[in-house]
Structure formats: structure tokens, C-alpha cells
Structure 1
Amino acid sequence: MRLALALCGALAAASLVHASPLPDIGLDVGVNLDLGPVDVDVSASVGKRAPPKQGGGVVAFYPNWALYSRSNISGIDLTGVDTVVWAFWTVRKDGSILTTDEWADFQVGGTGTIPLLNAAKKKYGFRTMLSIGGWSSSANFSAVAVNPAARKTFTQACLKACQDYGFDGVDLDWEYPGGGGLEMNYFSLGDPEFYVQLLKDLRSAFGSKYLISIDVSASSKRYDNQLWAYGQIVDWINIMGFDYVGTLQPISGHNSPLYEDKAGDPGKAGFVSQAVSAYIAAGVNPKKLTLLTPFYGKSWNVTSGSNNGLYQLVDVYDADQFYSSLRKNGWLTTPTTAGAGFQKTYWDSSHAPTLLRKNSEGSYTFVTYDDPSTITEKARLAKSMGFGGVGMWEITQDYQGELLTALVGGFKK
């Protein structure tokens, strides 16, 4: 998942922006928590909790920087959520892990917001996972995965973080094994195989007491036929079913189309149902798959209103559009009704809505997004395919629980 730029302190309240699941936080802003090697009797911890059900259930990602401009975890109704994933921490080349925002995690209010997470956990009964990596913090996974000493440091650091802060497990968001993430990232062609060993080492340290999940690209081809092996080790795999279009692409498109556009997509971006089918075909047990949906969309200025703005030349990227922003700004006056001069189109073939507005200077604003109806459809698809979970990036982008209600209802009813 790719994430938003996370800034600390007063600046963050004014300028925090989501960049595309998951954030651009940099590696030099964290604080070393000194979670190095520790002596832990793993055998004594195995079996102390019942084996977890396969799959994540309803999975909600929460980014710690959201408290600056949107909501801390205690301000969100999490009814129906089974797992909350706390994002993000990062990893150094030696395998040590560290917070990307010390203030948010440990200092704000005198204690930080992780205690608020644990209070919400007690209230709602969900599990919690510490997510490590993300779009901007995956630079060192490759260096750790290939190095046995670094892998040991990493696994013991993850174990200690769970013990110290009450997490039920860790979520690894390596973007991506073998490359394809940020240019600064270390990578090797053997990364998908080394990832298997990293996961094995982590499972050996965790036993059955703590959970492991991983976040994976919608493109299963990134993993060199190792997905079946990941599925044998982890408790579940989160498929990131979004970002089929990027911020710099030349033509507009759908961020998260459920099905193929039968009229033809000139960008050949792919679609969600194709991705989930590919993971099953790769040998992963559907019960260990969780489909992540986007609670955000994207907007561009396009040069033409033809085809209701879809597949038109992009003049400039506008912004990522949280669903909450679409509702608060009146671009959607109801979950299904456009406002502020926009015209809504629902694309029956792709099962995806868009908005289009003509601007005074002659350009057009085009918006691709998900609404409650499409979130429900995706949840129902996952349920029909026997998936163990559905989820979203990310919970603070919702508006008055409209998308969460749709996600829970589509999967659990």
C-alpha cells in the first residue's frame, strides 16, 4: 500500500496529504526504540491463545499521523471491525525497527495514541497489528531478508514490540520484493524467495501466539510464484485492490474498477476481480486472502469532457480524494448524488462511479472513487469467493461510517 506524507506537529495539521496507499514519511524522522535481540522462550508462549481464525475478518488500517488532521483512534466507531492495523513503523538495514512518528505513537497527550488503540481494542474486541513498511518505508526490507543476522534482529524486534505494546501480531507491507517501489529502495531479483525465509523466521519466533499478515500488490506476478509459500506461513494476505491508475499517468482512469471495461481500457490498467482470481490461481487458500478496498479516490484536470471524462488526456493531477472530503466538500451531497456542479456517471461494465465538472477556464475535473454501493459489491465478491476477510485503506477517510457500514454489511450479512 502506498501512503500519505506524514508530518509531525503543527505543520501536519495543515498539510497532511495521502499520497496513494500507503505514506511518504521518510526514514530519518523515526526514533530508535532499541528493540534489539532479546532472550525469549518461544516454546513457552506457543498455544497460550487459541489458533486464530484464517483471514483477517474486517480489517481497518489506521495511520498514526491521521490524528493531526482527521481523527485519533478513539474518535472512530469501529463496530464490526475484527482487526485494526496500526501504520507504519520502518525497518533499518540491521533489522531493528522504529516508529515513524514518535510523537503520535508515544508522546501526544503524555502517553501517545497506542494506549488509545488498546483502549479501543478492549471496548470493541478487535485484534491489533503493527504494520511495518509501506510505500515510503520499504527501502531496507531486501537488505534484511537476505541477511540471517538481520532477519534474527528483525524477528526478535517484532516479537518485543508485540509484547511491549499489546499488538496481536505484525503486518509486513514490503513494496515491493524485486523492485517496483521507490527508486531509493534496495532490491534484488531473489527478493521473493528471501521473503519466504524472512516469514519463516518470523513464524518461528512468533509460534502460534502472534499473528502475521502481509500486504501485496494487485499484480501477483511481482512475487515469482512464491505466493503459495507465503500463504503456508502467514495468517492472511491483504490484496491491495486499488491504485490501478497513478498520479502521473497520461490519461484518466478508474482507481479501483471491480470488473473489466468491456468497451476497452486504453491504459490496460487491470481490475480487482482479475487480481483476486490470480491469487487463488497461484495456490493461496482463499480463507487466507483479504481484499482491501480504497476509501479514497483520485482527481485530475483533463482536457476534454468526452466519454464523461474517462480515458481523457490529463492536464495536471489534482489530488487524492478521500471519500470524507467528497462528502464534506459537497462534491457528493449524498453517497450516490453529485453536487458542486459535478455530474456522476456509473460505469456498469467496470462497476465504478466517476464525477465530472467543467471548470471556468475550459478544463474539466474528473474524479474516480468508491461509494457504498461499490464497496458492498467488492465485499460480496470476496465473500462469494470464500475469502477470509475484507478491509480498507484507510478508516479515517470514511464519512460518518458510510463505507465501513457497507463493507461490514457486504461481507458479514
Structure 2
Amino acid sequence: MALVTNALLFLMASVGMSACYQNAVYFPSWAVYKRDYHPQDLPAAEISHVLYAFMDVLPSGQVYTKDSYSDLERRYPTDSWTESGENAYGCVKQLFNLKKSNRGLKTLLSIGGWTQSANFPAVASTDAGRSTFARSSVVLMRDWGFDGIDIDWEYPDDAEESENLALLLAAVRDELDAYASQHAPGYRFLLTIASSAGKAHYENLDLKRISGLVDVFYLMGYDYSGPFASHAAHQANLYANAAKSTTTPFSTDAAIAAYLEAGVPAAQIVLGMPLFGRAFQNTAGLGEPFCGVGRGSWDDGSMEDSGAWDYKALPRPGAEVMYDDTAVASFSYDAQARTLISYDTPRTLKTKASYVRDKGLGGAMFWEASGDRTDGDSLITTSREFGASTSAFHICNVNAHCDAPTSISNWGRA
């Protein structure tokens, strides 16, 4: 088997293809509530990596769970109510069970996110903060049976914070390697980051240096437009549309070109794509001004409307799906309601998946799992089918670490 795998790796490298095609998906801990979406609902046969979002960070650097009920306490029908000891249930146990049933599936513990990045700058600025962060994150990874750590710092603002991010990554990498050498010789626990496709953010980073510390950049190729914008624009376009620049304020291709130019290997870049749409109300159409975004799939009036719709709920009744072949983007428009929603479709996904393959990138990532459809128009399935050969997917989808020396029954309270 090793000879066959090595031969495939050599062949794919010789033709410029990434040897491993990830089909990764974020699973947020809050999906179990209003969304009623659980680890057991993940399409395990179609994915290679699950990123469990999000752990938070204390000012001390301590990484911890903000939702112990979803993470550790929720009982599922297969869980016991009579076990002795302090046992882990919830999503942590279900993800571990999913991995045991799908031995190639890898799980990563994601830390931070848009609403939980405030403490990163201070934590990363000191040896003590970095050490506490590295140690506590690896303890959680160990106790909960994960295969690695994903850091989602949104975003380092300047050269100093970029330097501190690199130092933080180095500390985590050292901690992961030290743990592996003692408990899992020969196994490489993964270290990844979620990174921006926005020039103002990625230009702050020493991308070449970071590429030597991480296994993967999960490039967030979405949220290019939204409530913050001035015009109804594409939120996940592959290319710029120079003929109407207000439709494409950002471009995935431009971001990837910049990463490659900075020295990041193509195979380290995994292209993130949305399983949601961004709405724009009171607009005459694409590239035109708008006023308001309205309620999305899960807005309930308790917070400002996001205008974010699950992909599975699109298009909305009365809307027509349209395509911008220049930008490689799709959207729906309801002329009567004057509402436009920008989102990916199987048509755009197929082109993006081919782009990933042709560029030799490391695969695809999706935010987030509960938004996908379960029928023939699933974007996760489309990515796996069109993004890589079966061999590339399976080369990536091997050797998950399922034999944690600390039992899954340990709560992992660092």
C-alpha cells in the first residue's frame, strides 16, 4: 500500500497537482440549537476534515470552552446516564465517534473566530501568554481526541501583531511536536490558520514565514460584501469584473496570486467557500446601491439583522438565479421585492473546484456545515466530485489519530 501511495504522490506532483485534496468543513458548536444540526448529520463520506468552532481565549492565554453544554454535556440517545466519573458527551464525543466510524476523517479544534479574537493580540505578545495558549490548546486537543489545532485570529493589524502570530504558531507547533514525540511517534498533528482574502489583512502577514509553521491556510474566500458595503456586490467571486468594479470589491484569484507570490506553496492553500448567501434589500440589482439587508435564516430580532441565508434556503420564492461568468459568481434577484442575494451554486462551485485542481491548491473548505443542502445540489458533494480524483481525496483522508492516550472521558479542563 505504501508503494502505491508513494507512486500516486510522485505522479501527481509531476503534473502539478496537489497530492492531497481536502474537503474540509467548519462545524460550529451552536449549530445544535436553533439549527438542530449535529455531528451525526455531517456527510462523513464526503469530507476529509471537520473544524470544530470555536474555543475562546482568556487574557492569560488559557484556551477554554465557552459552551460546555454543547461541547461536553449534552446527552444523545446513545449516551449513558449511569456511567461513573466525569465523562465527556456532547459534540466532542459525537465527533470522536464519527471519526472512529470513518477512520480517515480528521478533526481540528478551532480557536478564535470573528467574535472571539479580542484577546489574541495581548496573549501573543508575551512568552507567558504564548506558552499558556500552546499548552492549554494541546491539552484540549489531547483530551478530546482531535487531530490538530486551527487558529482563527481575525485579524492581526500590523507588522508587530504579525510577528507575534508567527511566534504563537511556533509555540503551538513545538507543543504539538513534543506531544507527538512522546505519545504518537511519527504522527504529525495538524496546525492550521484561517486567513483573509482581503489585501488589507494578508499584507500585514509574513506569509512565507507562517507557511513554514502551519500545514494549511484556510483562505476565507467569502464575505467580500455584506451589510458593511455600499453596493450590492458578489460575496465570493473567483475573479474581478473590471467592467463593473462595484460588483467585485475583492477577488479570490487576486488573493491566491498574492499568497503564491509571497512564497506560500499552492498545496498549503485550501479555498474557503460559503454555504450561505448575503442579502441586499432595496436595490436595482448587482453593483447598485442598496438599503438594508433584512433578516436572514436565523435572525430573530434580538440582534441586528445579518441578511445571511443558509444555502439550503436559496433561492427565495420569487427570485431568479443569475450568473456572472466573468467573475465566476452567482446570485438571485427578486425584481418585485428588489432584493438580491449573493451565494455559490453548483455551477460556480464546479468552476471553483476545477480552479483548485488546476492551480494545485490543497482543496476546499466550507463555512459552515449546517447550511448545505442534502440533495443532489449539495456544494460539499459537488466539491468532492469535481475538485479532485478519488485517489487525491483518499490520500488526504487517511491516518486520523483515534488512539488518544488520555481517554475521551477526560473533560479536558486545562
Q: Report the counterpart of residue 234 of structure 1 in structure 2.
A: 214
Q: CA deviation at 1:405?
A: 1.0
1:320 pairs with one of 308, 331, 339: 308
1:67 aligns with 2:32: yes
Distance 2:98 2:383 in 1: 20
Distance 2:323 2:247 in 1: 19
Q: Calculate the TM-score normalised by the size of structure 2.
A: 0.77
Q: Report the counterpart of residue 115 of structure 1 in structure 2.
A: 93
* 1:268 to 1:407, Cα distance in 2 relative to 1, 3 A: closer
SS state of the match for residue 316, structure 1? coil
Distance 2:232 2:280 in 1: 7
**Correspondence 1:11-410 to 2 at 5 A:** 57-70=22-35, 71-109=37-75, 111-125=89-103, 126-178=105-157, 189-207=159-177, 209-223=188-202, 224-266=204-246, 269-304=249-284, 309-318=285-294, 319-326=307-314, 331=316, 340-359=317-336, 363-400=337-374, 402-410=378-386
Distance 2:141 2:318 in 1: 49
SS state of the match for residue 287, structure 2? coil
Q: CA deviation at 1:220?
A: 4.7
RMSD of aligned residue pairs (Cα, Å): 1.8
User: Once structures 1 and 2 are overlaid, which stretch shifts more, 223-232 or 81-90?
Assistant: 223-232
| Residues 374-408 of structure 1: per-residue CA shift (max 9 Å, x gap) | 11211211111111221111111001051111111
2:138/2:175 contact within 8 Å kept: yes
1:90/1:133 contact within 8 Å kept: yes
SS state of the match for residue 90, structure 2? coil
1:247/1:317 contact within 8 Å kept: yes
Distance 1:99 1:149 in 2: 20
1:129/1:171 contact within 8 Å kept: yes
* 1:264 to 1:100, Cα distance in 2 relative to 1, 3 A: same
Letter in 2 for 1:372: P
Distance 1:225 1:171 in 2: 17
Q: CA deviation at 1:95?
A: 0.6
Residues matched between the structures, number: 334
Distance 1:289 1:383 in 2: 11
**4+ residue runs over 3 A deviation:** 53-56
Q: Report the counterpart of residue 395 of structure 2 in structure 1.
A: none
2:275/2:311 contact within 8 Å kept: yes
SS state of the match for residue 323, structure 2? strand
Distance 2:266 2:383 in 1: 18
Letter in 2 for 1:236: V
| Residues 284-307 of structure 1: per-residue CA shift (max 9 Å, x gap) | 011111111111111111242xxx
2:234/2:247 contact within 8 Å kept: no
Q: CA deviation at 1:216?
A: 0.4
Q: Report the counterpart of residue 14 of structure 2 in structure 1.
A: none
Letter in 2 for 1:323: Y
Q: CA deviation at 1:100?
A: 2.4
| Residues 95-148 of structure 1: per-residue CA shift (max 9 Å, x gap) | 101112111001111721210111111122301000000000000111111110
SS state of the match for residue 266, structure 1? helix
Whose relative contact order is higher, 1 or 2, with alpha carbons under 8 Å and at least 6 apart?
2
SS state of the match for residue 367, structure 1? strand
Distance 2:57 2:264 in 1: 27
| Residues 132-171 of structure 1: per-residue CA shift (max 9 Å, x gap) | 0000000011111111011111111011111100011110
SS state of the match for residue 242, structure 2? coil
Q: CA deviation at 1:347?
A: 1.1
Letter in 2 for 1:366: L
Letter in 1 for 2:366: M
Q: CA deviation at 1:268?
A: 5.3
| Residues 191-226 of structure 1: per-residue CA shift (max 9 Å, x gap) | 001111111111111116421000000025524350
2:275/2:371 contact within 8 Å kept: yes
Q: Report the counterpart of residue 298 of structure 2 in structure 1.
A: none
Distance 1:94 1:211 in 2: 24
Distance 2:190 2:213 in 1: 10
Letter in 2 for 1:358: A
Distance 1:144 1:299 in 2: 36
Distance 1:153 1:250 in 2: 42
Distance 1:228 1:56 in 2: 22
1:56/1:388 contact within 8 Å kept: yes
Distance 2:197 2:54 in 1: 20
Letter in 2 for 1:271: S
| Residues 23-70 of structure 1: per-residue CA shift (max 9 Å, x gap) | xxxxxxxxxxxxxxxxxxxxxxxxxxxxxx986711111001101123
Letter in 1 for 2:152: D
Distance 1:268 1:81 in 2: 30
